[in-house]
Structure 1
Amino acid sequence: MRVDQFMSRAEALVQQYPEYQSLTWIDDRRRIIANQSVSSLLTGQHLRAGSVLKVGDTESNYSLARDLMQPIYGQIDAEDERDAGNAVLQLHSPLTNDQGRFSGVILAQYSMEGLLRYGIPTEVLAKYAVALQDSKGKLQAGQTIPTRVHLWNLLPGSQRIDNDYEVPVAPVGNGLILRAQAWRTSQGLVGSGLFWLVSVLSVMTAWMLIGNWRHTRRRLQAQKALVAETNFRRAMENSMLTGMRALDLYGRITYVNPAFCQMTGWNESELVGGTAPFPYWPDDDREMLTKRLEEEISGQHSAGGFQVRVKRKNGTLFDSRMYVSPLIDARGQQTGWMTSMTDITEPNRIREQLASAHDRFTIVLEALDASVSVAPLGSQELLFANKLYRLWFGQNTQGHLRLVAQAGAYTSDKESDDVDDLAGLPTESLTVARSENAEIFVPELGKWLEVRSRYINWADGRLAQMVIASDITPRRQAEELAAQQAERAQTASRLITMGEMASSVAHELNQPLTAISNYCSGMISRIKNKQVKEDDLVWALEKTAHQAQRAGQIILRIRSFVKRSEPNRMLSDVSAMVSESLELAEIELRRRHVRLSHYVAARLPQLLVDPILIEQVLINLMKNAAESIDNANRPVGQRHVELRVVPTTRDEQSVVEFSVSDSGQGLPPEVIDRVYEAFFSTKVEGMGIGLNLCRSIIESHQGRISAQNIYNADDVIGCRFCFWIPVHTTLTEEQPTEVNE
């Protein structure tokens, strides 16, 4: 661009926009190329062509525009207050060449006064005094007016009214502030006395009206509260179930509430103003009630009240309790007596019923054949004891504590803050806590007692223990007698079994005795003929000894089986018991031509039993099986009995199961559940005690026995008796494996 082109364009802009003061072209060496300005610029603000920028605000803004490569605004303040309206605003716009490098700036200077004059609308200038100030409040352009203080700004609690507005000018920065002040338009009424008089009278009138309104509102609120309180008290009196009666100092009725009228049946007009005798007094009690009224009027009344009878208007009577207290007015003076009356007919009836129920309950407890005692935990106090307890142990808790200690139930006789005596008590509700039962012998009484104890909440809230002791001496004696009878029956059963097996036993003994006789005769004959050799003699003697031992074993087994003895439980080997049973049972089975097979699991645990009794059960079951086969007339190929002993689990408990299966005619379905009854038998010549004894023996060993028929389709082909005995829990059990012997 040439200088003449710049000058022509700059001149046109200065003439078109009067706020322009000058347009200057400065190259990259701070040399002024061309300048177009108006004559109103101050001497210090003229930039002449050909000169170089001097150090100052203009040179600093030039450097900042060159470094940032963006337009920079700058402000040149007036040098003194007389030149306040000639402040200048500068704009440095950087120039670049074709390579994008800095080649200078175009400096435009604006008159701040011209900006305000030509840039602000005239309607704004008509209402506000507009001025430009620096950050120190120094006026740069425009005009200001003094700050006005309004009278209402001085009133307490009033908000300050301010007509001054200030706005920072951007993008010049916070160093230049645009301020506007509203011109004053109100008239000067501050010094007018009439104005102040009217104002004061108006304020006083308003204050009086507000005070009157507040007083009227408080009065209405008080009236509403009084009416509400009166209605509440009246509603409370009308809804009370307690009868209220007021007497003056002379005994005249002055007030009754609706509850009193409802109780007696008389209305208020019939009662108020009346004097003694009152209409609700029973005729039979008038003398007593008159005396009571005189005591009331004289102040001789009981704080706990008194009970009287009251007559209703229809002539019926009811029981009531009355309470009397002085009636004091608002000035603290006594004006009469206030009486409250409550109908206690129903409570009296309930109390009488409870007393009767207590008497009946006490009579029942006293007549019980059991000792009943209740004592709190950790105390020597005896809360309750019936007649039998007092007869046995007296009036103290020693008997109660002795029963608890012998029965093994919990008790505590310590009182310590450091020890929780109730630890271990049931945490569930006492109403569902299980009772503890035990049978003990009391040497002092010479009786067996069944003791039952449980925890209860006593009437006063304390935790107590109730103990009920029943005399079971006759039952224990009967049980011992029954056990003795059962033992005799078991012995008789063994004798009967051996009697039935006598011929078979004789045949069995005949074989070893005949063999011994033959061996002896042969040896004698050879010795006489001198044909005996030493080896043959030894062999014959060994055979003779073996046959003699066999005969002796048979006799010993029969003797030990038949011998009567007390039950002797011991840890017994299952295989040994089965072998002993088979040795005796095989005699009867061979006599009836019945084949026997048995299966015994290996490594069976030992059982805590009486082996003789278990052997008796096995022999009885195998003998019954052989008889069932013989009675069914089975052919030779179907005469078979199987004994099976295996471990199993019943009710989550390890047991050893014994089962005897036969191929007989089975049991009729209608008698399967009755075969264990005493003296019931399905055999013509049976006594009906064998299976009954078997069940008693098995159940005495905590086991069970059962019977079931074996079916082939709808045909019964045999019967199976099975019983099991629990394994002793103190032994280490191994997992058994079943083998065939």
Structure 2
Amino acid sequence: MYRTSLTAIQTHGSSLVRGWRAWWRSLSPTRQDRFAALAPLAAVLMFMAAIVAAFWYLRMEEGEREQEALRRDAEYAQQRVRLRLLERQEQLMRIARDLSNQDMDKAQFGQRAEALISQYPELQAITWLDDHGRTKASHAAPSLAGEQVRVPGEVLKSGETADTFGLTRDLQQPVYAQQSATDGETTPLLQLQVPINVQGQFGGVVLGEYSIDSLLRYGTPTEVLARYAVTLLDAKGQVLAGTPLAPRHRSAQWLPWSAHANAYEVPVSPVGNGLVLRAQAYRTSLGVVGSGLFWLVVTLSAMTAWMLIATWRHTRRRMQTQLALVAETNFRRAMENSVLTGMRALDLQGRITYVNAAFCQMTGWSEAELVGQVPPYSYWPESDHEQLQNHLKDELSGKTMPGGFQVRVRRKSGALFDARLYVSPLIDARGQQTGWMTSMTDITEPNRIREQLSASHERFTIVLEALDASVSVAPLGSEELLFANKLYRQWFGSQTVGHLQLVAQAGVLPSTSASGADDEDGLMGLPADSLTSAHSENAEIYLPDLGKWLEVRSRYLSWVDGRLAQMVIATDITPRRQAEEQAARQTERAQSVSRLITMGEMASSVAHELNQPLTAINNYCSGIISRIHSGQITQETLLTALEKTAHQAQRAGQIIQRIRDFVKKSEPNRQLADVASMVAEAVELADIELRRHNVRLTHHVAARLPPVMADSILIEQVLINLMKNAAESIAQARRPPAGRSVELRVVPKQVDGQEVVEFSVQDTGQGLAAEVLERLFEAFFSTKQEGMGMGLNLCRSIVESHQGRMQAQNLYNGSEVTGCRFSFWLPLAAPPSDTTNLVANAHPPRTIA
């Protein structure tokens, strides 16, 4: 059976070996090298870990033995202290019993106390207290502090001793307590109060006071004090006697043999938890030999591991260097075979020693035909032998040009092509020059493209010179003028002053972009968007020096040297501006004529309106004259009549003044205008015409409307025209008196996110036909036989010049047209903080989007 087991073990071992060999052979050489380098390192680390674990285990075993010995010795010391306390307690109880039986007087008590104190050094004082806590007799050791000695007749004060006295009286049992030190000179004492029972009644106590330090010194065995640091602690952990060991430095606690100071605590009976004995073992170590052996093993293991790592890294670097060399060689060979640049190597005598495939492909000769040739080479054109020979002499003598030189090269087929040659010295591994390396590039096609670009640039320059606009290009932040065409030079000369003047006056700087600061670089103030997406800005400016109006367009571009430049194109638009100004004057005159026509159409109504106050004035004056002649007028009656006459005259004057202000010619004056005041003025003028047509006018103006930036006279003209047209539409529809009404509403509104004020005039007329709605605002289109067709066209022009919009629509009741509604809106004025800027910039340069 033994042989069978041995055979099975051998079979199993051989199978493991075969499996190991198969796994090792399946690895790549790189992995085999890696495992071969890491295996010794792993073995060294495992050996070091085993040594550390052994030291740790031995130290832990030693620590457990020390802890067990410490616990045993601490309990032995506690038993010795306990027996000593019980002996002293028994002696004090005998004294208390004798005092209870009245077998002892004060003199005998003093003799007994003196004998005990002299015999037992831990006893410091023995005191006899009556049932009221008054000292009847006391004897103290000479070593006791004076303030701790009790005087006969002294009564216990409130404190620890008085509390213990009360507890002893209640329990009728001996009670231990501690008396803490009051200052640094007194020492803490352990008190024992034994009750005195006189015929079943409490007759006082016998108070014994122990020195805790003497109790520790004389009660603890000397062999325990020699091996341990023994201390007595109170319930709060404060040291009462003895000297504890200092806490150990943390820097050495991580060592495997670093033993923490063993400590064991046990309460001292019969005192209980109020007095605890703690023993601390003195620090021990493995010694110099043990520590040296451990550090020697650790050092040798670290050095072995470091050398293995260094060897592995060195081997890895060598392998990487070899792989890099192989990759570099393959890369250079592939690069030589794939580049389109021809490479040729010459020795110091000018013999060809190497050509690559690109060089052979360019010239048409094979490598075998070229290598070994001396000048003149077969690819030199016969007509250029002398020139090429001079270039070769310069090349061999080291006189090479950094930018290379251009030559003509002949192919094997006889065709010629342009090439550029670059020469550099050929240095071997020892740093010595062995020849010259020449690279050759076919530049036939680039030369052709360069000629085409030159011709294209010439044509482009001719076109720019022939333009009727000034074109200039200058880099940002510089006074250099990169380009200027003929017209620019005629206007401004060859300096950058004109370019900068156009940029500054037109305001086509990057800050004027509508997208704001998000499209600008915060440090340079330049456009941050791409040049292809930058927006151009157009502005119209006037140059007094030239006496011309110019339309200025600008955009940013990248100049040929990579600098960011600004191109400015200025076109002379003086004739167009003159035409626009003439058209504006004609429009102003048309508006003035329209107001005169409106007043002419309203002449009869105005005359009727003025006839009433004039008739009233005539009647008042005639009545006053008649009463004055008859002498039947009093002063009060005369004053009343004159006041009414003056009121009627003032009324007539206001009507005439409003009509005069309305029809007089004036320049457009846009300013902050109150909407309610404009509506009131228009209603007073239009109400005359509406009453003539027997039309009722109702108007509603929303409260607290903000002001608008407008020309009050022009807006009143629009409102009067709309209300007058509404009254005429109602008259033509022949509506009954109850249905003849015009409603004017002015309310705030929001259009496309913009706060505006909407004016609407709604009538109950016959409405507008579909074909009329399409052409309603065209010039010279009118539905009236005597109309000129300019009223609504002017109204729309006035509204649009105020950045507003006007529209008209029919009102329906089912399918029946019940009237028409004209409405227009005006944007609100700028905030008060921007009003000054609006007034100061009443005529800014016009910008065309």
TM-score (norm 1): 0.60
The answer as to 2:717 corresponding to 1:616 is yes
Task: Name the amino acid aligned to 2:528.
Answer: E
What does residue 340 of structure 1 align with? 439
Establish whether residue 709 from structure 1 lines up as the match of residue 814 from structure 2: no
**Aligned-partner residue type, residue 506 of structure 1:** A
- Residues 679 and 266 from structure 1, CA distance in 2 versus in 1: closer, same or farther, beyond 3 angstroms? farther
Which string of whole-angstrom CA distances, capped at 9 and with x for unpartnered residues, describes residues 535-557 of structure 1?
A: 65555544444433333332222
1:195-594 correspondence runs (5 A): 234-247=333-346, 253-272=352-371, 278=377, 280-282=379-381, 285=384, 288-289=387-388, 292=391, 301-313=400-412, 316-325=415-424, 338-407=437-506, 423=523, 425-426=525-526, 428-429=528-529, 431=531, 432-435=533-536, 438-452=539-553, 458-523=559-624, 538-594=639-695
Per-residue Cα deviation, 1:202-255 (whole angstroms, up to 9, x for no partner): xxxxxxxxxxxxxxxxxx999999998876654443233221234566766454
Whether the 8 Å contact between 2:472 and 2:481 is mirrored in structure 1 is: yes
Check 1:309–1:650 CA distance in 2 against 1; reply closer, same or farther (3 A cut): same
Aligned residue in 2 for 1:605: 706
From 769, 774, 788, the equivalent of 1:668 is 769
Q: Is the 8 A contact 1:430 1:457 kept in 2?
A: no
Pairing 1:12-161 to 2, within 5 Å after superposition? none
Partners of 1:556 and 1:376 in 2: CA distance? 61
Partner of 1:498: helix, strand, or coil? helix
Question: Paired residue for 2:727?
Answer: 626
Question: Contact 2:423–2:438 (CA<8 Å) still a contact in 1?
Answer: yes
Is 1:404–1:411's contact at 8 Å kept on the other side of the alignment?
A: no
Q: Give the distance between the partners of 2:505 and 2:761, measured in 1 at CA.
A: 45
Listed one character per residue, the Cα deviations across residues 132-160 of structure 1 (whole Å, up to 9, x for unaligned) are: xxxxxxxxxxxxxxxxxxxxxxxxxxxxx
Q: Deviations over 1:503-551 (max 9, x none)?
A: 2223333333344444445555555666666665555544444433333
Q: Please tell me the residue identity of whatever aligns with 1:559.
A: R
Q: Distance in 1 between matches of 2:684 and 2:675?
A: 14
Residues 269 and 64 (structure 1 numbering): CA distance in 2 closer, same or farther, change over 3 Å?
same
Structure 1 counterpart of 2:659, which letter?
Answer: I
Rounded to whole Å, the distance in 2 between the matches of 1:668 and 1:350 is 68
Cα displacement (A) at 1:642: 0.6
Q: CA deviation at 1:582?
A: 1.6
Q: What's the CA shift for 1:484?
A: 1.0
* Range that drifts further, 348-357 or 660-669: 348-357
Count of residues in Structure 1 that have an aligned counterpart in Structure 2: 521
Q: Which letter does structure 2 place at the counterpart of 1:447?
A: K
TM-fit CA distance, 1:332: 7.8
Q: Which moved more, 1:334-343 or 1:261-270?
A: 334-343
Can you list the C-alpha shifts for 1:460-480, whole angstroms capped at 9, x where unaligned?
Answer: 455555544443433332332
Q: 1:716 to 1:732 in 2, by over 3 A?
A: farther
Residue type of the alignment partner of 2:703:
A
Shift in alpha-carbon separation, 1:534–1:270, aligned structure 2, 3 A: same
Counterparts of 1:701 and 1:436 in 2: how far apart (Å)?
A: 23
Residue 648 of structure 1: SS of its match in structure 2? strand
Identity of aligned residues (%): 71
Q: Distance in 2 between matches of 1:551 and 1:374?
A: 67
Q: Is the 8 A contact 2:492 2:498 kept in 1?
A: yes
Distance in structure 2 (CA, Å) of the matches to 1:611 and 1:497: 17
Root-mean-square deviation (Å): 4.5
1:104-138 CA deviation, whole Å, 9 max, x = no partner? xxxxxxxxxxxxxxxxxxxxxxxxxxxxxxxxxxx
> In structure 1, what is the Cα distance between the partners aligned to 2:760 and 2:510?
48
SS at match of 1:319: strand
Judged with a 3 Å threshold, the aligned counterparts in structure 2 of structure 1 residues 643 and 299 are, in CA distance, closer, same or farther, namely closer
Once residues 683 and 590 of structure 1 are traced to their aligned partners in structure 2, the CA distance between those partners, rounded to angstroms, is 21
Q: Which residue of 1 aligns with 2:238?
A: none
Partner-residue secondary structure (3-state), 2:584: helix
- 1:621 shift after superposition: 0.8
Seen in structure 2, the aligned counterparts of structure 1 residues 274 and 617 have a Cα distance that, compared at 3 Å, is same
* Whole-Å separation in 2 of the counterparts to 1:719 and 1:597: 15
Residue 40 (structure 2) aligns with: none
Show the counterpart of 1:643.
Answer: 744
| Higher RCO, 1 vs 2 (CA within 8 Å, ≥6 residues apart) | 2
CA shift digits 1:59-111 (9 cap, x unpaired): x99x979989xxxxxxxxxxxxxxxxxxxxxxxxxxxxxxxxxxxxxxxxxxx
Q: Gaps spanning 5+ residues in structure 1: where?
A: 1-59, 69-219, 413-420, 734-741
- Distance across 2 between alignment mates of 1:670 and 1:315: 83
Shift of the alpha carbon at 1:450? Answer: 4.2
CA shift at 1:717, angstroms?
2.0
1:353 and 1:628 map into 2 onto residues whose CA distance is 73
- For the residue of structure 1 that corresponds to 2:734, the secondary structure is coil
CA distance in 2 between counterparts of 1:299 and 1:377 reads 44
Q: CA deviation at 1:437?
A: 5.3
Larger-gyration structure (1/2): 1
Match of 1:174 in 2: none
Instruction: Measure, in 1, the Cα distance between the counterparts of 2:321 and 2:700.
Output: 107
Gaps of 5+ in 2: 1-71, 81-318, 512-520, 835-849
- AA of the residue aligned to 1:348: N
Match of 2:781 among 680, 691, 694: 680
Q: Once the two structures are superposed, what CA deviation does each residue of 1:369-392 show, in whole Å capped at 9, x if it has no partner? A: 444444445444334433333333
Q: Does structure 2 conserve the Cα–Cα contact (< 8 Å) formed by 1:430 and 1:456?
A: no
Which residue does 2:243 correspond to in 1? none
Q: Give the structure 2 partner of residue 656 of structure 1.
A: 757
Residue 648 to residue 370, structure 1, CA distance change in 2 (3 Å): same
What CA distance in whole angstroms lies between the structure 2 residues aligned with 1:640 and 1:558? 24
Structure 1 residues 525 and 438 mapped into 2: Cα distance closer, same or farther (>3 Å)?
Answer: same
Contact 2:510 2:526 in 1 (8 A): no
Task: Point out the more displaced range, 453-462 or 502-511.
Answer: 453-462
Task: Indicate the residue corresponding to 1:161 in structure 2.
Answer: none
1:683-694 equivalence runs, <5 A = 683-694=784-795
**CA shift digits 1:472-506 (9 cap, x unpaired):** 43333233222211110101111111222222223
**Amino acid of the residue matched to residue 694 of structure 1?**
C
Distance 1:313 1:639, change over 3 A: farther
Q: Residue 403 of structure 2 aligns to a residue in which SS? A: coil
